[in-house]
Each structure stands twice: as structure tokens, then as C-alpha cells.
A and B are shown apart, each in its own frame.
Chain A
Amino acid sequence: MIWINAIIQGLLLGGLYAMFSCGLSLMFGVMRFVNLAHGDFAVLSAYAAYVLVEHAGGTPLWTFAAVIPAAAIIGFLLQRLLLDRALIGGSLSPLLVTFGLSILIQNALQQGFGANNESLFVGSLSYESWKVNNSIYLGRLDVIVFVIAVALIAGLQLFLSKSRPGRMMRATADNRRSAALSGVNERRVRATATAIALATVAIGGLFLAMRTSFTPTSGSNDLIFAFESVIIGGLGNLWGTLLGGLILGVAQTVGSQINPADGILAGHLVFLAILAYRPQGIIASRYADS
């Protein structure tokens, strides 16, 4: 029964990872680079919520209304001011710029808040759970996060397939030049993609801060988990990313069940095994070769 519990808890955790990775996947699709500061933006949002709660009071839930739009605006500006410029400089530049940003954000947070673990306390929500049987309990917050993650991915998928800006994004992802030739404003598409990506990673960061704790440097792990989810699931497919997140979550909780120190390692090993035997990911798609 403990194994079934580990798998169920892993699936719930995987929802959170999927939430982190959908923005990464979206930005990669449109611009063909991985934002190495992705996880740090999650942590930055968590600290923003923390400061808001400390100084303005109330429960952390209302901070969503402030932090998520702010993250989207930061994403838009980030794209316009830094990343657009970095994209001109070839394929190394965006990587180097975002890695520099990552160091900058981590150490600025360290300077401002110290290296302590922080957490967003959400009252009874953080410990209430539904009892399934004597050994399986579903944390209410965990289930809520999972449902929101699935809804977010469904919403994003719907946006990409049905809406006009979403279609433009897919067109840009498919073939940048043809899309531009048929009238897609590439600059706007890129800025929109980054804004959406940062909004989703902010949601992930806030929920992560409520579920567990965060430190100025924990963004590195968030980035790695998001990346592993994307690769395990298969590139360029949001449902694949969800699946990848779930597999990673299960690998980590089952690994921790075997030996409490081995959770993260088990996740890495599943990722490396996928890389060795199925590098296109579980759900292969047409972007797999790029």
C-alpha cells in the first residue's frame, strides 16, 4: 500500500512539475532556446508573494492577483529589452544571457533575504486532506494544484490550437521565416510567448512555495525538473510535457520511498534512461529533431 501511496503522491507532485515546464516548452517552441533563469523566476515570484503577505497581510491566495500579471509584464519587458537582442547574437547568446540572469537573481535574493528556507503558509489548506483509506491521504492543496496544472495545460493547448495569437505562435514554432512572410509579427509573438511563460512559471512558483519551501537558489532545481519533464514527455507537445512531469514526480516519490535521500537521483536516472533509449521522448512529435 505504501507503494500505491508513493505513486499517487508522485502523480500529484508531477502536476506541479508540469506547471513549471509548460512555459519552458512554449518558449523553446517559439525561440529554440531554454531560458536558464526559468526556475529563478518561479522563486522570484514566491519571494514577491512572501513580501506582499508580510507587509500587506492576509492569506497568500490574493497575491496571485498581483504576482501573476507582474510576472507577465516582466516577461514582456525581458523579451523586448534583453532576449530579442540576445537572439540576434546567435545560438549561444540567449543561453549565456539567461544564465547570467539566473546568477543575478539568485544572488540578489540571497543578499536580500538570506539563505534561509521560506514558505508561504496557507492556513488549514496546507494540512487538510481527504482520507482514501488508512494509508492514503490526499492533501487538499496537492489536489488543487494538480487540477489547476491540468487546467492550465488544457487552456494553453486550447489557446495554441484555437486562438489567433496561438496559431501565430505555432506557425512561428513550425517555420519562423514562412510565418513572418505570411504576416506574423514575430517580435510580438515572442514577447507574448515569454509573457505567458513567465505567468505560468509564477503560478508554479506560488504553488510550490505553498506546498513546500523555497530558498534563493532553489530555482536551479526547478529548472532542472522542468527540463526533465519536457524531455521525458517529448518536445513540442504540452500533453507530453504533462506526462513527463507525472513520470518525473512518480520517479522521485518512489525513489524517496526506497531511500529518502534518493528521490532526486531516481528522477535524474529515469531522465537519463529516457535519453539513452528514447531520446525523442515518450510522445514524439515533429519538433523532436531540432
Chain B
Amino acid sequence: MSAETTLVRRYSRTTLGALAASGVLVFVLAWFPAFAGESSVNRLTQFFSLLILAVGWNLLAGYGGMVSIGQQAFLGLSSYCVLYLSLHGVLAWWGVPLAIVFAGLVSVPISFLAFRLRGSFFAIGTWVIADVCLLVVAQVETLGGGAGASLSDLNNYRPVTVDDVTYWVGLAIAVSALVACALVLRSRLGLALVSIRDDERAAEATGVNVARTKRIVYVLSAAICGGAGALLILANLEVQPDSTFSVQYSAFMIFMVLVGGIGTFEGPVVGAIFFFLLQQWLAAYGAWYLIILGAVAVAVTLWLPKGIWGTVDPKNRRSLVPLRHRVTRGRDSTSLD
């Protein structure tokens, strides 16, 4: 029909195939509780919480260039928001979306403080802010103080129902987080973000509103981490300040994103799967698993800085997600856009 031309495309066979496969996967996962045992359902819920955290941290650090060690602040605040609402008559399941919004809203004023710091100082500054949240929440007696509290309003439901609904909540948050990330990265905002990460001054000079772009990403990442926090209180049915505001969550997020491939869309997914398997395998070895985690994080940063996905796909050609346009040669009648 037409002559050979140069085409600018976003979709390719790979991305369409991956999209279809993801659709099937989500469908299967949605039906999973119907045919799987409770322990596998609960394990997958655990996996979803890891995946959500990895996606949230990758958006912030991998695309926004902001290494935070304080995202557990939003995780904990969101858990406590679900608890607070449930104590005031809002069923915990309905509390989840409200808690996610709450985490996003709280992060706005926090960002004004945290953005005073850059680089290394931003990292520790966010940690201090998370510590302040911990110390303050631990003093609120109506929320259980330092000892924490349990979520009791789901006791009226059968445990199996509670587990299954928690699973679906987890799946929904994980899928929404991934879709939200993909949409952001495809948008103008995503382009601005990548330009800031690569060179902040150059981005500013070309008209990117750096502060605003970073703030949007910070808030979005906080909301995603809040999603993980809301999921964790549903899964554990209790919350305790020292564990929910623990810096260990930051360690997990960093590990998953680094190993998977920082600054790639697929990286946190690969990293979350890797970390989940590692956890299952090393669970019996106590502190050893964290020792290995630390060592792997050091080794990967130094010798495999692009992580697993970045090494598999170094030039970002096999991307499974239609995030960027690329130039190809072909007949325009075959254009899939």
C-alpha cells in the first residue's frame, strides 16, 4: 500500500503482548482466592504490600531522584488512619481509600520541610520526620500508645472472608499503583520528571517547574506507600508504632528497587518478586536474611547498578510497558497507534 517510512510509535508487539498478558494475570489473580488455600492467599497479600512499596519508592527515587529513608512515615500514618476511622465507626475496608488520601494530604506540608534538604540530607531529614511521626503517634493513648492497638471491627466477619477481602484490596491497590505510575510516566509530568532526574538545572532552564513536579511525585509516592500501610493493618489486624514506622521498610523498598532495576517501570516488580522469594527462602534464618539483604544491596549498587531488569534490557528496548515513543522503520499501514 504505502512506501517504507519512518514511524513514531508508542506501542509495539511486545507491549501489546505484555499488556494482554498482564490483563490475563490480573484476571487470574482476582479469581485466585476461589481455588487457592488461605495460606497462599495471605502470602500473596504479603507480596502485594511489598510490590506497592517498591513501586512507590521507585517513583520517588528512580524517577524523581529523591532518595528517602522516611517513606515509613506515610505507611504508619495510613495504618493509624484506618485504625482511627475504625474506632470512629468507619469499617476498616472503607477506611482504606480515605487513609490513602490522608497519606497524600499529610505529605504536602511535610514536603515543604523536607524539600529544604537535598541529596544525602533529604534522605536523613525524611527519616527524622518519620521518627517524629513515630514518637508523636506512640503518645496518643486513644490509639494504643506505644503498645499499639488491634483492629476489632472485622471480628464480626468470617476469618476467610476477611483474608479474601484483604487480598482483593491488596490486588486493587497494587494494580492501581502500577497503572497510576504508568499514566504519570506517559504524561508531560513524566517527561518533566525524567528531565529533572537527569539534570535539574537544564530542566529548569527549559521551563520545567521543578519544585511543583517534585512535589506532585512526592505526594503520589506518599499515597502509594499509604496504600501499603492500609493493606498491612488489614493483613495483620493490629498496628504497633515501632514496627509500622520501622526504618526496615525503607531497607526493603531500597533493596527491591535496586535489585530489580532503579528507574525502570518493570524493575520494582522484578525486585518485589525476587525479595518475596528470598524472604520465603531465608525466613528460617533470622537475622541472616537481613545480613544477606544488606550485602546484596551493596554488591548490586557497585557491580550491577542497573539491577536485574536494567541488565536484561540495558537500552530500554524491550520495555513491556508503552511508556515512551520510539522511532521505527516500517509501513504505516501496520501502525498500531
Point out residues on A near B: beta carbons under 8 Å.
Answer: 28, 32-34, 36, 82, 85-86, 89, 91-97, 99-108, 110-111, 220, 223-224, 227-228, 231, 261-262, 264-265, 268-269, 271-272, 275-276, 279
Contact = CB atoms under 8 A, between A and B. Distances in A.
Interface in B63-101: 65, 67, 69
A31 to B, nearest CB: 10
A101 B297 CA distance: 8
Q: What is the predominant secondary structure among interface residues of chain A facing chain B?
A: helix
B119 interface: yes
B121 A96 contact: no
Nearest to A92: B67
B217 interface: no
Contacts of A93: 301-302, 305
A239 B310 CA distance: 45
A224 B251 contact: no
Interface string B111-147: 0010011011101110111011001100100000000
Given A92-B262, A220-B247, A110 B287 contact: yes
B216 interface: no
Interface string B162-200: 000000000000000000000000000000000000000
A100 B298 contact: yes
Contacts of B121: 34, 227, 231
Contacts of B124: 34, 36, 223-224, 227
B283 to A, nearest CB: 14
Contacts of A94: 120
Given A100-B297, A101-B298, A276-B116, A95 B128 contact: no
A193 B297 CA distance: 24
Interface in B253-285: 254, 258, 262
Q: What is the predominant secondary structure among interface residues of chain B facing chain A?
A: helix
6 contacts: A34-B124, A36-B124, A86-B301, A100-B297, A107-B288, A262-B135
Interface of B: 61, 65, 67, 69, 113, 116-117, 119-121, 123-125, 127-129, 131-132, 135-136, 139, 247, 251, 254, 258, 262, 286-288, 290-291, 293-298, 301-302, 305
B305 to A, nearest CB: 5
Contact of B302 (A36, A85, A223, A275): A85
Contacts of A106: 290
Contacts of B295: 100, 104
A103 B135 contact: no
Contacts of A279: 116-117
B286 A96 contact: no
A95 B66 CA distance: 11
Given A110-B287, A111-B286, 16 more contacts: A34-B121, A36-B124, A89-B301, A91-B119, A92-B67, A92-B262, A95-B120, A97-B297, A103-B290, A104-B291, A107-B290, A108-B291, A231-B125, A265-B136, A272-B132, A275-B117
B69 A99 contact: yes
A94 B254 CA distance: 13
Contacts of A34: 120-121, 123-124
A93 B119 CA distance: 11
A137 to B, nearest CB: 29
A96 B301 contact: yes
Nearest to A102: B294
A95 B123 contact: yes
B50 to A, nearest CB: 16
A42 to B, nearest CB: 15
Nearest to A96: B301
A92 B61 contact: yes
A91 B290 CA distance: 24
The residue in A96, A101, A265, A271 that gathers the most chain B C-beta atoms within 10 A of its C-beta is: A96
A197 to B, nearest CB: 14
